[in-house]
């Protein structure tokens, strides 16, 4: 097969012996991957660093946690994505610091020099000063978290089958903290699992008796969306049986449940979807930051005083309207493409241009055939919004294989209301085992290091 044009350009530059600028990209998420792809036709050497070997389609990670999809449906190896890009190298490594004066990325096991640096490290969980809550609440940030949550949910129902009537209520109480898109989507999926998927699977109790509680400290759900859509979302959740609490900040989380507004709610499964915070690595840049730990970048996404360093995605606080660019995939992808274009201009000796965000709207699904959408001045809810949500997410998946598999899984779920990934995996068994493709079957439905968190937090035996 003939090489693609990008490959021919890069090889031609190499044959001439010209020294190419070294571009290091830290993070293989939406922003980092778009930046790497955007440099395919630029005479530079690109090194993409990530501590995971895969790109994760995080908007659908909650569906792995709720047994609708497998891990390999939403994750694809970075090397596979960039395999045809001859000027790109992928390194599985952990960046522990950024030496901006020395133009080096310090790794756990070495260092990389750069001429241009793109920082796309994303965001982690924000516990709002209560890091001790991580021992009792499960956050959702990567495939390991999703598998742990999925096991916890399914094990709760298994434990309820053997428990006495007095022991069941805490086992069948699921608390989701955070009323943003992830929290709303998790709560809706949990309600469907209890009231539809598992409705006929148990003999000694009624799965429909499960209690799903969605807690939001603010005055309403989905604060990034218009109020009319937030009301529609709440109405749809309550119709599904979800109990919604607004204006009720959580004051305590322990092994027995949560406390809010002076009320203690006994629950063995608490899911945290309340917020994100930029990664600690950004602190080594020495740049000004906002309260969320994001770098306050210049209009062209560069760090003040260092035009060779760009920060994008959830790691950057980019002014937009009365706030900042939303921490969503479209924003990160646009920033990634802009960062690549800026480097291409620098290589040609041209000045950079400011970044302009194009708002493509916001979407959130609530359950089967139900979603809300804002696209400019157009507000949609119900089935039309759900159809739009489906096709937008299919289009944004990285590979054709993922698009086909996810579409087939969703069609099966829609027609049968059955979730195909309802396999309980013991994370302890997976810790020292081979690769993820052997963990769940069907070409890979697991992860190698689901972690010891499940063992630490309990595997839901009846008390």
What pLDDT, on a 0 to 100 scale, did the predictor assign at position 266? 97
Distance separating alpha carbons of residues 423 and 368, to the nearest angstrom: 21
Q: Which residues of 308-332 are buried (b: 16+ CB within 10 A; e: fewer)?
A: bbbbbbbbbbbeeeeebbbbbbbbb
Q: Which residues pair with 118 in a beta bridge?
A: 25, 310
For residues 261 and 248, the answer to whether their CB atoms sit within 8 Å is yes
Q: Which two tokens stand for residue 56?
A: 């994760």
The mean pLDDT of 198-212, rounded to a whole number, is 95
pLDDT digits (tens, 9 = 90+) for 107-130: 999 999 999 999 999 999 999 999
Does pLDDT of 229 surpass 90? yes
Does pLDDT of 352 surpass 70? yes
Q: Could you tell me the CA-to-CA distances from 14 to 45, 48, 406 in Å, in that order?
A: 10, 19, 40
Does pLDDT of 17 surpass 70? no
CA angle 62, 75, 37 (to 5 degrees): 125
The mean pLDDT of 209-222, rounded to a whole number, is 96
Residue 80 parent element (H or E): helix 78-81
Q: Which residues make up the CATH 3.50.50.100 domain(s) of the chain?
A: 131-274+363-455
What pLDDT, on a 0 to 100 scale, did the predictor assign at position 421? 82
Q: Which residues make up the CATH 3.50.50.60 domain(s) of the chain?
A: 5-51+93-125+276-347
Distance separating alpha carbons of residues 26 and 38, to the nearest angstrom: 15
Q: Look at residue 309 and give its three-state secondary structure.
A: strand
5-51+93-125+276-347 maps to CATH 3.30.70.100: no
| Helix/strand/coil percentages in the chain, nearest 5 | 35, 25, 40
Confidence tier at 420 by pLDDT (50, 70, 90): confident
Q: What is the CA radius of gyration of the chain?
A: 23
Does pLDDT of 463 surpass 80? no
Class of 131-274+363-455 per CATH? Answer: alpha beta
What pLDDT, on a 0 to 100 scale, did the predictor assign at position 2? 37
Contacts of 6 (CB under 8 A, 6+ apart): 40, 41, 84, 85, 86, 87
Confidence tier at 18 by pLDDT (50, 70, 90): low
pLDDT digits (tens, 9 = 90+) for 159-170: 999 999 999 999
What integer best gives the mean pLDDT of the chain? 88
Look up residue 176 and give its DSSP letter. Answer: E
Confidence tier at 12 by pLDDT (50, 70, 90): very low
Distance separating alpha carbons of residues 429 and 427, to the nearest angstrom: 5
Task: Please give the biggest Cα pair distance in the chain.
Answer: 77
The mean pLDDT of 402-421, rounded to a whole number, is 92
For residues 55 and 92, the answer to whether their CB atoms sit within 8 Å is no
Does pLDDT of 441 surpass 60? no
Instruction: Give 359-396 as a 3 state SS string.
Output: CCCEEEEEECCEEEEEECCEEEECHHHHHHHHHHHHHH
pTM of the model: 0.87
For residues 394 and 118, the answer to whether their CB atoms sit within 8 Å is no
Does pLDDT of 321 surpass 50? yes
Residues annotated as catalytic (active site), given as ranges? 185
The mean pLDDT of 45-49, rounded to a whole number, is 98
What pLDDT, on a 0 to 100 scale, did the predictor assign at position 392? 95
The mean pLDDT of 361-379, rounded to a whole number, is 93
Distance separating alpha carbons of residues 390 and 411, to the nearest angstrom: 10
Distance separating alpha carbons of residues 303 and 318, to the nearest angstrom: 12
> Which residue reads 């010891």 in tokens?
452
Rounded percentage of the chain residues whose pLDDT exceeds 90: 82
Q: Output phi, psi for 381, to 5 deg.
A: -150, 160
What pLDDT, on a 0 to 100 scale, did the predictor assign at position 422? 87
What pLDDT, on a 0 to 100 scale, did the predictor assign at position 424? 87
The mean pLDDT of 305-309, rounded to a whole number, is 97
Does pLDDT of 178 surpass 70? yes
């Amino acid at each position: 097969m003939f090489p693609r044009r990008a490959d021919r350009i890069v090889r031609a530059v190499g044959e001439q012996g010209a020294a190419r600028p070294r571009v290091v990209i830290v993070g293989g998420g939406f922003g980092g991957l778009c930046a790497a792809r955007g440099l395919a036709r630029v005479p530079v050497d690109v090194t993409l660093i990530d501590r995971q070997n895969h790109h994760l389609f995080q908007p659908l990670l909650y569906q792995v946690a709720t047994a609708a999809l497998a891990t390999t449906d939403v994750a694809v190896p970075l090397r596979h994505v960039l395999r045809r890009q001859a000027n790109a190298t992928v390194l599985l490594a952990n960046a522990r610091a950024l030496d901006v004066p020395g133009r080096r990325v310090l790794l756990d096991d070495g260092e990389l020099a750069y001429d241009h640096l793109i920082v796309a490290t994303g965001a982690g969980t924000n516990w709002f000063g209560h890091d001790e809550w991580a021992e009792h609440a499960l956050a959702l940030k990567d495939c390991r978290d999703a598998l742990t949550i999925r096991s916890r949910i399914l094990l709760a129902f298994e434990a309820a089958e053997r428990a006495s009537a007095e022991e069941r209520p805490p086992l069948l109480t699921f608390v989701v903290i955070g009323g943003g898109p992830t929290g709303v989507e998790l709560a809706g999926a949990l309600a469907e699992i209890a009231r539809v998927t598992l409705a006929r699977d148990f003999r000694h109790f009624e799965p429909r008796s499960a209690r799903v509680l969605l807690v939001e400290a603010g005055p309403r759900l989905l604060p990034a969306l218009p109020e009319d859509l937030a009301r529609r979302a709440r109405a749809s959740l309550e119709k599904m049986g979800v109990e919604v609490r607004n204006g009720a900040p959580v004051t305590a989380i322990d092994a027995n449940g949560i406390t809010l507004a002076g009320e203690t709610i006994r629950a063995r499964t608490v899911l945290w979807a309340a917020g994100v915070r930029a990664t600690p690595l950004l602190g080594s840049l020495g740049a000004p930051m906002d309260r969320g730990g994001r770098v306050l970048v210049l209009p062209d996404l560069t760090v003040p005083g260092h035009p060779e360093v760009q920060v994008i995605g959830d790691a950057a606080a980019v002014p937009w309207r009365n706030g900042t660019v939303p921490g969503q995939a479209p924003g990160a992808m646009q920033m990634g493409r802009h960062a690549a274009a800026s480097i291409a201009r620098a290589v040609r000796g041209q000045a950079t241009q400011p970044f302009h965000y194009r708002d493509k709207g916001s979407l959130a699904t609530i359950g089967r055939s139900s979603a809300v959408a804002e696209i400019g001045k157009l507000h949609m809810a119900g089935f039309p919004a759900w159809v739009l949500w489906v096709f937008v997410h299919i289009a944004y998946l990285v590979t054709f294989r993922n698009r086909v598999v996810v579409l087939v899984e969703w069609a099966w779920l829609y027609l049968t209301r059955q979730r195909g990934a309802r396999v309980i995996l013991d994370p302890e068994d997976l810790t020292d085992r081979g690769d993820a493709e052997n963990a769940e079957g069907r070409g890979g439905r697991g992860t190698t290091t689901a972690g010891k968190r499940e063992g630490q937090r309990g595997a839901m035996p009846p008390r």
